[in-house]
Amino acid sequence: MSRPDWSVEGRDWPNRAASRFVDTGRMRWHVQVAGRGPVLLLLHGTGAATHSWRALLPLLAEHFTVIAPDLPGHGFTTGRPSGGLSMVGIARALGDLLTALAVAPEWIVGHSAGAAIALRMAIDGVAAPRGVLGLNPALLPFPGLAAQLFPALARILFVNPFAPHIFAAMARGPGEAARFLERSTGSRLDAAGVDLYRRLFATSDHCAGALTMMAAWDLDTLSRDLPRIRVPLVFVTGDGDAAIPTASVQEAAALIAGSRVEVLPGLGHLAHEEQPDLVAKLIEEFAQATAGKA
């Protein structure tokens, strides 16, 4: 297996000056900490890492103390939580990280699967934020036959020891990362953004982490728990998202009292990378609106 190397893949990592490595039990986390003010936790989605916040993090750091980890199995974070890469296991592991950093987030912003983890943290009492903002959130099971096929496929790929190497080899092909990102997300990134994904996709450990997380994902339980959420909540989604349809986001929001959906025209699944200024403004407005909430 090949692992992302901080001196190679991370040689010019975005916001590298904010990076640190933190040990918690079986985990060694790569986490970026920047800014001053109330604590805001950023959770990236499956297959991504802290580079996903490369333009957004500095904007938010003007108003918040921003905490942005690479999730277990992703990027430069190493080790496995005691609960594995399940939603519950990752949520608990993040609780350990927050304890080690001696911080309690007032807001959590999660992208895609990161939004599901943020809500799991709130439901399970791992964190008690004033509000949660989900960016293109992946919260409901895939419809129809895909509900059975998708996790089954992930598990098949996971138990095949050659699968991560195959994905990594594909990512090394000319233009493959750019084509994959646009086809799977509906977003168009600049060359620098694509190259960061390519670096990670080309390492089999990162691919294995994403596959393992997908194989352990339990959206059925989360969807049943959504009505229990009482924390202020807003979902922001691009209407060009090729991964999570707007209708799915609206369906999830309908299960949660008081939540709302904001649709961004012309943006895809990586809307926060396409228009970081716009997304930063939405996050700041949400924080201001919920600042007095306990």
- Please identify which residue in the block is written with the tokens 């993040």: 94
pTM assigned to the model: 0.91
Q: Are the beta carbons of 103 and 67 closer than 8 angstroms?
A: yes
User: Which residue(s) pair with 109 in the sheet?
Assistant: 42, 133
Examine the pLDDT at 268 and tell me if it is beyond 50: yes
Residue 171 covered by a domain: no
Please report, in angstroms and rounded to a whole number, the separation of the first and last CA atoms in the chain.
45
Q: What share of the chain has pLDDT > 70, as a percent?
A: 87
- As for how many domains the chain has, the answer is 1
Q: Is the dihedral of CA 195, 14, 276, 231 positive or negative?
A: positive
Domain annotation covers residue 280: yes
pLDDT above 50: residue 293: yes
Q: Is residue 206 part of a domain?
A: no
223 in a domain, yes or no?
yes
CATH number of the domain to which 31 belongs: 3.40.50.1820
- Confidence class of residue 214 from pLDDT cuts 50, 70 and 90? confident
Pairing of strands 131-135, 107-111: parallel
| 55: in domain | yes
207 domain-assigned: no
Angle subtended by helix axes 87-101 and 113-123, to nearest 10? 70
Q: Is the pLDDT of residue 141 over 70?
A: yes
- Condensed to tens digits (0 to 9), the pLDDT of residues 92-125 reads 999 999 999 999 999 999 999 999 999 999 999 9
Tell whether 226 is covered by a domain: yes
199 in a structural domain = no
Per-residue buried b or exposed e for 134-162, using 16+ beta carbons within 10 Å of the residue's own CB: bbbbbbbbeeeeeeeebbeebeebbeeee
Q: What are phi and psi of 265, to 5 degrees?
A: -65, 140
Q: In angstroms, rounded to a whole number, what is the distance separating the alpha carbons of residues 204 and 168?
A: 5
pLDDT per position as a tens digit, 2-51: 889 999 989 999 999 999 999 998 999 999 999 999 999 999 998 899 99
pLDDT at 284: 98
Residue 48: closest CA among 287, 216, 232, 273? 273
Domain span at residue 105?
Answer: 16-142+218-290
